[in-house]
């Protein structure tokens, strides 16, 4: 049997797992969705979904992955050979990986482009109509869109080829501390602005009048997307954990750190938005149109714009590594392909699927399914449907199918950790709370009940 490459240290485990969770979700999706859906009210629902659905599913995934020491699909075959159909969770997970990467690499492509363009100054202006035109020009240009996306895909592919410990672990260990440092710097700068109080009020005072079934589903979808759960990413990473790693504790730490990054991003963005009279409801454009305009108005603004996009590039890299690892680990283990071949196949396939998202604002702008461009469709399908569904079945599998005794011994590291209460609480969550909440929110959000 091939020797499995695994994460080598506790800090490596944390950096890689947190690197997966922290990403464009924190600085692109979280502020955009919070701004669109009523600020703190959305934040509260997102927090509850994270605690009650996201966290238990994350623990379940890490646990199953470490037990099986296998990829997202094979895990179910190893742990429950009696019934092959559970493997569908992993199969849908691999599909989700491609769909998420398709639009994610495009947004990351814009971020990488903006690092370059903010250094050269070509996207900088204090006038939002100018920054808006600059962004429109980038996304409407098929050549640039494809160029930046492919660049990102190849970049991530190169790190993946280097392996689990020498590629993923080494990279994220270096990047994560940098990310925190930059974020804190921008946050402090933003808090010194005159509109800071108004921005913070927006972020922390709830307005429940905006909350509908669809908004609740969006908040739960964000919770899954944020923690990278519901599609086998954490199963795959769990399979690289050492046996002595405390899984519930690691998951909790990652969740807290990830929330901190989102809040810091909110604290960096909203005060600035209010200070210069912008609207928080700008949606996805917040990052690419509002941020350059807002930050350009501050003294030393250019430096902060550059820093902000470097932050985005760092954050997105750790997340993309973890998503790409899902199909690569599967191809590697299941078909015995070398890491290089498995990555090359993934990269080529991804370039094909991804280009349909990249061209959504240009060549394929008129091509819509269910009224959405491919870019929007992949985003909607994964966050609001496939991840919650994956989370639902994962919690059923971990809570009801695999067996309580096995869960107890897996999460207590065969009784060596004194965490009985924590594990009992987890079992209750994963058996009753998570599946019920997920299915109710899902059906209601889709207007099926």
Residue in 12, 19, 23, 445 binding ligand PFF, rule: CB under 6 A? 23
Cα separation, 44 vs 36, in Å, equals 14
Q: Which residue has the tokens 């954490």?
A: 234
Using rule CB under 6 A, residue 49 touches ligand PFF = no
Cα separation, 435 vs 412, in Å, equals 23
Quick note: the x/- pattern for ligand PFF over 191-230, rule CB under 6 A, is ----------------------------------xx-x--
Using rule CB under 6 A, residue 390 touches ligand PFF = no
Torsion 88-93-95-99 (CA) sign: positive
Enumerate residues 6+ apart whose C-beta is below 8 A from 158. Answer: none
Radius of gyration of the chain (CA): 21
Q: Give the pair of three-digit tokens for residue 160.
A: 């993946």
Closest to ligand PFF by CB, 229 or 351: 229
User: Per-residue DSSP letters for 225-247?
Assistant: HHHT-SSSHHHHHHTTS-TT--H
CB of 323 to ligand PFF, least distance (A): 5
CB of 76 to ligand PFF, least distance (A): 17
Residue in 7, 17, 18, 25 binding ligand PFF, rule: CB under 6 A? 25
Closest to ligand PFF by CB, 134 or 182: 182
DSSP state of 417: S
Using rule CB under 6 A, residue 393 touches ligand PFF = no
Using rule CB under 6 A, residue 100 touches ligand PFF = yes
List phi, psi (to 5°) of 231.
Answer: -140, 15
List phi, psi (to 5°) of 43.
Answer: -60, -40
Using rule CB under 6 A, residue 54 touches ligand PFF = no
Residue in 322, 343, 373, 419 binding ligand PFF, rule: CB under 6 A? 322
DSSP 3-state assignment of 297?
Answer: coil
The answer to whether residues 191 and 9 touch, using CB atoms and an 8 Å cutoff, is no
Closest to ligand PFF by CB, 26 or 355: 26
List, in sequence order, every residue forming a beta bridge with 39; answer none if it has no partner: 206
| Among 18-26, 172-180, 288-296, 347-355, the segment contacting ligand PFF (CB under 6 A) | 18-26
Closest to ligand PFF by CB, 225 or 397: 225
Closest to ligand PFF by CB, 161 or 387: 387
Report the helix count and the strand count for the chain, using DSSP H and E.
23, 0
CB of 238 to ligand PFF, least distance (A): 13
Closest to ligand PFF by CB, 134 or 324: 324
The answer to whether residues 367 and 208 touch, using CB atoms and an 8 Å cutoff, is no
Cα separation, 48 vs 32, in Å, equals 19
Using rule CB under 6 A, residue 146 touches ligand PFF = no
DSSP 3-state assignment of 369?
Answer: strand
Strand runs labelled E in 120-211: none
DSSP state of 134: H
Closest to ligand PFF by CB, 231 or 328: 231
Residue in 18, 138, 231, 305 binding ligand PFF, rule: CB under 6 A? 231
Task: Tell me the residue nearest to ligand PFF as measured from the CB.
Answer: 25
CB of 262 to ligand PFF, least distance (A): 9
Residue in 16, 18, 21, 72 binding ligand PFF, rule: CB under 6 A? 21
With residue 6 as reference, give the H or E element that holds it.
none
Using rule CB under 6 A, residue 323 touches ligand PFF = yes
CB of 169 to ligand PFF, least distance (A): 16
Closest to ligand PFF by CB, 99 or 293: 99
Using rule CB under 6 A, residue 149 touches ligand PFF = no
Using rule CB under 6 A, residue 346 touches ligand PFF = no
Q: Give the pair of three-digit tokens for residue 331.
A: 């191809």
Closest to ligand PFF by CB, 113 or 314: 314
Enumerate residues 6+ apart whose C-beta is below 8 A from 296. Answer: 124, 125, 126, 131, 302, 305
CB of 365 to ligand PFF, least distance (A): 25
Using rule CB under 6 A, residue 361 touches ligand PFF = no
Using rule CB under 6 A, residue 24 touches ligand PFF = yes
The answer to whether residues 170 and 316 touch, using CB atoms and an 8 Å cutoff, is no
Cα separation, 105 vs 179, in Å, equals 19
The footprint of ligand PFF on this chain (CB under 6 A) covers a number of residues equal to 15
CB of 20 to ligand PFF, least distance (A): 5
The answer to whether residues 319 and 23 touch, using CB atoms and an 8 Å cutoff, is yes
Using rule CB under 6 A, residue 65 touches ligand PFF = no
Using rule CB under 6 A, residue 34 touches ligand PFF = no
DSSP state of 206: B
- Residues forming contacts to ligand PFF in the complex (CB under 6 A) are 20-21, 23-26, 100, 225-226, 228, 231, 233, 319, 322-323
């Amino acid at each position: 049997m091939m020797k499995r490459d695994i994460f080598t240290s506790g800090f490596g485990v944390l950096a890689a797992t947190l690197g997966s969770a922290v990403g464009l979700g924190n600085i692109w999706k979280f502020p955009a969705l919070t701004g669109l859906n009523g600020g703190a009210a959305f934040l509260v629902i997102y927090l509850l979904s994270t605690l009650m659905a996201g966290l238990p599913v994350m623990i379940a995934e890490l646990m199953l992955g470490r037990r099986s020491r296998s990829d997202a699909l094979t895990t179910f075959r190893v742990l429950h050979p009696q019934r092959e159909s559970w493997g569908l969770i992993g199969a849908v997970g691999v599909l989700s990986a491609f769909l998420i990467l398709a639009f994610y690499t495009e947004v990351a492509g814009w971020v990488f482009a903006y690092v370059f363009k903010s250094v050269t100054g070509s996207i900088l202006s204090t006038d939002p109509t100018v920054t808006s035109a600059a962004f429109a020009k980038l996304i409407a240009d098929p050549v640039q869109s494809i160029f930046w996306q492919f660049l990102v895909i190849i970049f991530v592919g190169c790190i993946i080829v280097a392996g689990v410990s020498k590629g993923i672990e080494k990279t994220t260990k270096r990047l994560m501390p940098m990310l925190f440092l930059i974020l804190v710097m921008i946050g402090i700068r933003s808090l010194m602005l005159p509109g800071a109080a108004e921005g913070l009020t927006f972020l922390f005072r709830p307005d429940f009048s905006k909350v509908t079934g669809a908004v609740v589903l969006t908040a739960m979808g964000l919770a899954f997307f944020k923690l990278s759960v519901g599609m086998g990413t954490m199963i795959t990473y769990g399979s690289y954990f050492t046996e002595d790693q405390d899984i519930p504790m690691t998951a909790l730490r990652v969740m807290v750190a990830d929330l901190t990054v989102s809040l810091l991003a909110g604290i960096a963005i909203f005060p600035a938005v209010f200070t210069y009279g912008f609207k928080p409801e700008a949606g996805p454009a917040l990052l690419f149109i509002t941020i350059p305009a807002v930050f350009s108005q501050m003294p030393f603004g250019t430096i902060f714009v550059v820093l902000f996009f470097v932050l985005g590039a760092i954050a997105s890299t750790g997340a993309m590594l973890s998503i790409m690892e899902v199909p690569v680990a599967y191809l590697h283990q299941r078909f015995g392909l070398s890491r290089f071949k498995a990555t090359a196949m993934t990269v080529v396939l991804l370039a094909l699927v991804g280009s349909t998202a990249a061209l959504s604002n240009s060549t394929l702008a008129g091509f819509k399914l269910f009224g959405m461009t491919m870019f929007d469709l992949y985003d909607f399908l994964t966050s609001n449907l496939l991840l919650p569904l994956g989370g639902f079945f994962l919690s059923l599998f971990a809570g009801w199918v695999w067996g309580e005794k096995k869960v107890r011994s897996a999460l207590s590291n065969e009784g060596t950790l004194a965490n009985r209460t924590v594990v009992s609480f987890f079992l209750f969550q994963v058996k009753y709370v998570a599946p019920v909440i997920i299915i109710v929110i899902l059906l209601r959000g889709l207007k099926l009940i």
